[in-house]
Amino acid sequence: MKKAFLILEDGTVFAGQAIGADKEVISEIVFNTTMAGYTEVFTDPSYAGQSVCMTYPLIGNYGVCLDDMESERIWLDGVIVRELSEVASNFRCDMSLEEFLVKYEIPGVAGIDTRKLTRILREKGTMNGCITTNENYNLDELIKRMKAYTTKGVVEKVSCKEKYEVKGARDLSDNGPVSGSAVFNADNYKADLAGDHSKREKKPSLVRQLNGVKADGTHLKVALLDVGAKYNIANSLAARGCDVTVYPYNTTAEEILAGSPDGIMLSNGPGDPKDCESVIKEVKKLYDSNVPIFAICLGHQLMALATGTDTHKLKYGHRGGNHPVKELATGKVYISSQNHGYVVDTDKLDPKVATPAYINVNDGTNEGLRYTGKNIYTVQFHPEASAGPQDTGTLFDSFIHMMIDGEFR
């Protein structure tokens, strides 16, 4: 197997074996503590501009099931693992992880001490790095290039290019998207883009009630602003009976509101929220519209910036499926899926604008806001999971209650 190297901007060098595509890439190096769900992690648009170290030592043993993809492709720049399984054993497996990486031209390195790498990132903070198969690399030249690297323009890169619709389920056995592990089906997605919901493969819904249906029998309409949306955000709403229209990141507030949505969702996404200046301006208009809004991850940060609150970068971020968050109103603790490197500052949060709703149990950082006098609720974690626990999936039901009767419960 060909040699590969992971080189950090502090000069640390790890030698291992090349996996995936044979190419060199410079990106931000982060780690994810999820034990399973690597397909969902690798196809999460929030990882654009980053190479991900999986802390669990064996990756790839169940292969890749295309139904588990959270977007149309792999978005991360590189993969770092301790051991890549040579055998993929799973009745749902469509291809091996190695084949998956090659298909989307993603390089990686295996056989390195991922525990040591994780400790470096935890103690020194997230830093840039390079994955290369060039044994004659120039370290000084690489360090200059790595230090100059920034993750700019990633939201534009990952957002959909034109709006599309995901029709909601019409009954509990309908062929709408489902909430659960099998949340993406390639043929279903193509059928959605073509506007032909009838071609969807029939799958039972895991949601026990279609609470996205109004008293008059019509279905709630949700506008989803895609700043890097995972499929399961739209699917979680559609499984509950909501009709979802997904809009590109640069859609104006006027166009979104012209569709007369019952509610608006702001999605997850990659990069520094402060780079999204034009999006923040439109989000402020949506805030002023009085339409109920639910925001996740990057969307949570954009709403905070739009209303005068600040954000900052964490030392090494929260990425994994085992992060405890505390709901301040009840004292309940939930285990959540997370993937973010930035958080909302609450030190100078104006209570007339918003109040904290959740905090991270591990480090006390903000995990959610409830906006004062508005039907707006935002969270930093991922209630749609994929991968990760579904403890907070009921927040989609709360959003539906907010759209129907104006109460988030």
Rounded Cα–Cα distance for residues 205 and 209 (Å): 9
β partners of residue 5: 15, 132
Q: Determine whether the annotation assigns residue 271 to a binding site.
A: yes
Query: Is residue 339 a known part of a binding site?
Result: yes
d(CA 378, CA 283): 13
Residue 63 marked in a binding site: no
What is the identity of the amino acid at 92? R
Is 323 a catalytic site residue?
A: no
Closest CA to 361 of 333, 340, 329, 342: 333
Close Cβ partners of 302 (under 8 Å, ≥ 6 residues apart): 227, 266, 273, 276, 279, 280, 283, 295
Q: Are 203 and 178 in contact (CB under 8 A)?
A: yes
User: Beta strand pairing status for 293-296 and 58-59?
Assistant: unpaired
Ligand-binding annotation for 342, yes or no, is yes
Catalytically annotated residue among 53, 219, 297, 300: 297
**Given 40, 98, 367, 384, which residue is catalytic?**
384
Is residue 384 part of the annotated active site? The answer reads yes
Answer yes or no: is 176 a known binding residue: no
Is 382 considered catalytic here?
yes
Q: How many residues does the chain have?
A: 409
CA distance 51 to 197: 36
Annotated binding-site residue? 46: yes
Instruction: Summarize the annotated binding site for L-glutamine as residue ranges.
Output: 46, 269, 271, 298, 301, 339, 341-342
Q: Which residues are annotated as a binding site?
A: 46, 269, 271, 298, 301, 339, 341-342
Q: What residues are labeled active site?
A: 297, 382, 384
